[in-house]
Structure 1
Amino acid sequence: MVGHGQCLSPQPGDWMKGKLVGSGSFGTVHLAMNKATGALFVVKSSQSELGLKFLENEANILENLSSPYTVQCIGKDVTNTASTGEKRLDLFMEYMCGGSLADVAEKFGGVLDERVIRLYTREILQGLKYLHKNGIVHCDLKCKNVLLGSSGNVKLADFGCAIDLKHSNERSTHFCKSMGGTPLWMAPEVLRNEGLDFAADIWSLGCTVIEMATGRPPWGDVVSNPMAAVLKIACSDGVPQFPVHFSKQGLDFLAKCLERNPKRRWTSEELLNHPFVTGELSVDGRNSVKEDVCSPASVLDIRNYEDGSDEDDSEDESHDGGEFPSRFPFLVMQSGRRNSALPMQQQESDLGSSGTWVTVRSG
C-alpha cells in the first residue's frame, strides 16, 4: 500500500490545544495549532480502553493512506502516566473547515440539491475506490463521516471501524465487526454476520445518498423501533425508501447500491461510470459534474424538498439495554425524545450512532 509518511509524533511543545469542537463516546476532538507555523489541525484524544482501541485502529489505517479523498493523519502522540498507569493517545488530523456533510445539510436547509449530491457522491466513490483497491473496508460510511473542505472537496473520515482485509488478523477483524458501524447504514449481510467485504461500503453509500437527499437517516419509517429496524434490514427483502424527488438516474444509482445480494451490487469503479455521477444526463439536462470548484457557494445551491414519507416522525428512544443483542452495543448509548423534522445530525436515533467520533465543524 502506498503511503507518504507515517503518523509521526510532533516534537513536544510544538503544538497547543484549542477549544473543544467535538466529542464521542470514546473521547474528544479539539482544534489545535502548530506553534511553529500557525497552521490549524484537530486532535482526537482518548484515555478509555475501548476508545484507545478505536483510535489506535484509525491511526494504523491512516498511516498507510495517501489520497486526496481521505482525511490525512499528520501525527500522533502516545503518553503514559507513571502514577496511574493510564495510557493516552492523541491523533493529529488535518482540519476540514466545512465540517461534515451532516453539518452542511443542516446549515443549508436540511437537505442538499441533487446537483450537489452528484458532486459529493462522485468524490466519495473516488475515496471508496482507493480504499477498496488497497484492501480496506470503511465500515461506517455516513454523512457524519464525510468532511468538506473550503473548495467544495470532500474526504472520507473516521476510520475507527475500518478493516484492512489484507493485513487484519481474526481478532482485530472480529473486534471491528462486533463494535463498529451504524445499523441504519449497515448492509443486510453484515447485520446477519455473514461476512464483510467491499460491497458493504456500497450499501452504506446508497444510504448516505438517501441521507443527503432527505435530511433523514435511511429506514426512517422504522427508526422508532430499533429491534424492528435491525430485523427489517437484515431479514426482509426491502430497501430504504428512495427520495421521491430524485431523477431517474439517481433512482437507478440507488438501486445499484442498495441491491440486497452483495454479489450483484455494483462496485465503486462501476458506479463511477454511472450517469448519476458522470453528469451525462443531469436533472436540468446539462452536465453537472465540475472538475474544479473554487468556492462552496458555487455548489451549495440548496433546494428544500419533502421526502414524501407520511410516517409519524416522533419517536421514543428510551430502551432497556437488555433488549438488544451484544452485537449492537451502540443501540443503547443514547436515550430521549427527538423529532425527525430536526436536521439530520440532530435526529439520529440510538440506531444512528456508532459511538465513533463527532465530526469537526467550523462554527
Structure 2
Amino acid sequence: MRPIQPPASTAGISRNKRKRRLRDLTLPLPQRDPTNLAVPLPLPPSSSTAPPCTNHRSANNSMGPHPHPPPPPPPQTLEFSHLERVNRIGSGAGGTVYKVIHRPSCRQYALKVMYGNHDESVRNQILREIMILRDVDDPNVVKCHEIYNHNGEIQVLLELMDNGSLEGRHIPNEHLLSKLTYQILSGIAYLHRRKIVHRDIKPPNILVNSMNKVKIADFGVSRVLAQTMDCNSSVGTLAYMSPERINSDLNNGKYDGFAGDIWSFGVSILEFYLGRYPFTTTRQGDWASLMFAICMSEPPEAPPTASKEFRDFIARCLQREPARRSTAAQLLRHQFILQHNQVPQQNLHQLLPPPPILSS
C-alpha cells in the first residue's frame, strides 16, 4: 500500500516559501556612522547622601580564617555624615569609643567621642592641637584620620584595632614579651622624635589588631586635654604616673614628659610579665595608697627568676631620678630587644649607645 503523497501543487508552494525565507535572511543590515555609534544619555541626578554600605556582613567576617580582600584606600576626606555607628567598643573617663563604618567605602574605623563641656575658645584650641596628630604616621602608632567638632563634642576618627587592648594580659614568656616590647618602644621612640609626649601610656592604651600588630593609642590627646581637665581625675591613669609627676617636690618642680613616658612604659611591661600591677597596692587603690607606693617606696623590680637582660631593661625604665632613665632610643639598643628581634641596622646607626649596666 503506497503512502499518501501531498498534492504536487502544495509541496511546490512549501518549497518556494522556504526558499524565499532563506533569501530574505541575506538582506544587508543598515549601516551606521562610526563617529556616532550611540545617542548620549543624560547622567542620573547627583545625590548628597552617601549610599548605604551593603558590605557590613563581609566586613565583619573579614577577621575569620579566610579574610576578604581589603577595601580600597580611604578617600582623602572622610565626611562625618558618611559615618554609621555599629556598636560601642569601649569607654573611660575621657570618652566613649564606637566602631563605625564609612558607608561609601565600607571601611571600618573607631570613633572616639570625647567628654567635656568646653567653651568655644577652649574647644577650638584643642581642635587645633589635635589636628597636628593627623600628620603622625608610624606602624606602631594608631592612625588619626579626622577630627570633628560635632554638636559641641570633639570626635576623633581613628584606625580600628579589632582585637582590643592588652589590659589584663599575662605574658611570662620573655621571647614573646620582647617582641611586643619592641613594637611599643618603636612607637614611643617615633613620638619622642616628633617631640610628642604621650602622658598616658598604660595597658588599656596599647592596642592589638587581628594581624598581631601592636600600636599605641590616645597619644597626645591626654596632653591636650590636660590643659583644661584635671589629669589626676582618673585613678587608672594615676597608677602609671611617674613619681615626679605626682609629687613635684621629688625633682625640684621639674617634669620631663619624655622620661615620664619611659616610667609608664616600664610599669606596663613589668605588669605584662607578672600578670598583675607591680606595686604593693592595686591600680584601683585610693589616691593616698597609690601615691605612697609610687613616690615613697622603692621602684618595683623584675623577679630574680627573670633573665638578667630583662631585669636590667626594667631597671633602666624605673629609675626614681628621671635623668637616670634610659631614653626610648637607648632602650631600642638594649640586649633584651636585640636578642629577640631583627632591628634594622639603619635604625641602630641612628641611635645613641645605651648607658653602662646599672650597678646593683
TM-score (norm 1): 0.63
1:39 counterpart residue number: 107
CA contact (8 A) 2:302 2:310 kept: no
Aligned-partner residue type, residue 147 of structure 2: K
Query: How far did 1:212 drift?
Result: 0.8
- Structure 1: 5+ residue stretches without partners: 1-6, 81-86, 165-170, 280-287, 293-363
Q: How far does the alpha carbon of each residue in 1:278-304 deviate from its partner, in whole angstroms, 9 at most, with x for none?
A: 11xxxxxxxx32579xxxxxxxxxxxx
2:87 counterpart residue number: 19
Instruction: Report 1:127-146 matches (<5 A).
Output: 127-146=187-206
Task: Report % sequence identity.
Answer: 30
Given candidates 261, 278, 289, the residue that maps to 1:218 is: 278
Aligned-partner residue type, residue 263 of structure 1: A
CA contact (8 A) 1:61 1:159 kept: no
Instruction: Report 1:1-363 matches (<5 A).
Output: 10-49=78-117, 56=127, 59-60=130-131, 62-80=133-151, 87-102=152-167, 105=169, 110-159=170-219, 161-163=221-223, 182-193=237-248, 194=253, 195-221=255-281, 224=285, 226-236=287-297, 238-279=298-339, 288-289=340-341
Question: Over aligned residue pairs, what C-alpha RMSD do you find?
Answer: 3.2
Provide the C-alpha distance between the structure 2 equivalents of 1:46 and 1:136, rounded to a whole number of angstroms.
20
Query: How far did 1:55 drift?
Result: 7.8
TM-score (norm 2): 0.64
Provide the C-alpha distance between the structure 1 equivalents of 2:308 and 2:128, rounded to a whole number of angstroms.
39
SS in 1 for 2:323: coil
> Counting helix residues as a fraction of each chain, which structure ranks higher?
2
Q: How far does the alpha carbon of each residue in 1:21-72 deviate from its partner, in whole angstroms, 9 at most, with x for none?
A: 111224211111111111111111135327x979858834522312112110
Provide the C-alpha distance between the structure 2 equivalents of 1:162 and 1:263, rounded to a whole number of angstroms.
23
Provide the C-alpha distance between the structure 1 equivalents of 2:186 and 2:138, rounded to a whole number of angstroms.
9
Q: How far does the alpha carbon of each residue in 1:88-115 deviate from its partner, in whole angstroms, 9 at most, with x for none?
A: 2221111112211126x2xxxx444221
Provide the C-alpha distance between the structure 1 equivalents of 2:193 and 2:76, rounded to a whole number of angstroms.
25
SS in 2 for 1:140: coil
Provide the C-alpha distance between the structure 1 equivalents of 2:206 and 2:343, rounded to a whole number of angstroms.
19
Aligned-partner residue type, residue 76 of structure 1: I
After the TM superposition, which of the residue ranges 215-224 and 147-156 deviates more from structure 2? 215-224
Provide the C-alpha distance between the structure 2 equivalents of 1:135 and 1:247, rounded to a whole number of angstroms.
33
Provide the C-alpha distance between the structure 2 equivalents of 1:34 and 1:206, rounded to a whole number of angstroms.
37
Instruction: Compare CA radii of gyration and give the structure with the larger one.
Output: 2
Aligned-partner residue type, residue 295 of structure 2: A
SS in 1 for 2:239: helix
CA contact (8 A) 2:256 2:322 kept: no
- Structure 2: 5+ residue stretches without partners: 1-74, 345-360
Query: How far did 1:173 drift?
Result: 5.1
CA contact (8 A) 2:109 2:157 kept: yes
User: Structure 1 residues 198 and 275 mapped into 2: Cα distance closer, same or farther (>3 Å)?
Assistant: same
Higher relative contact order (CA 8 A, sep 6+): 1
Provide the C-alpha distance between the structure 2 equivalents of 1:267 and 1:273, rounded to a whole number of angstroms.
10
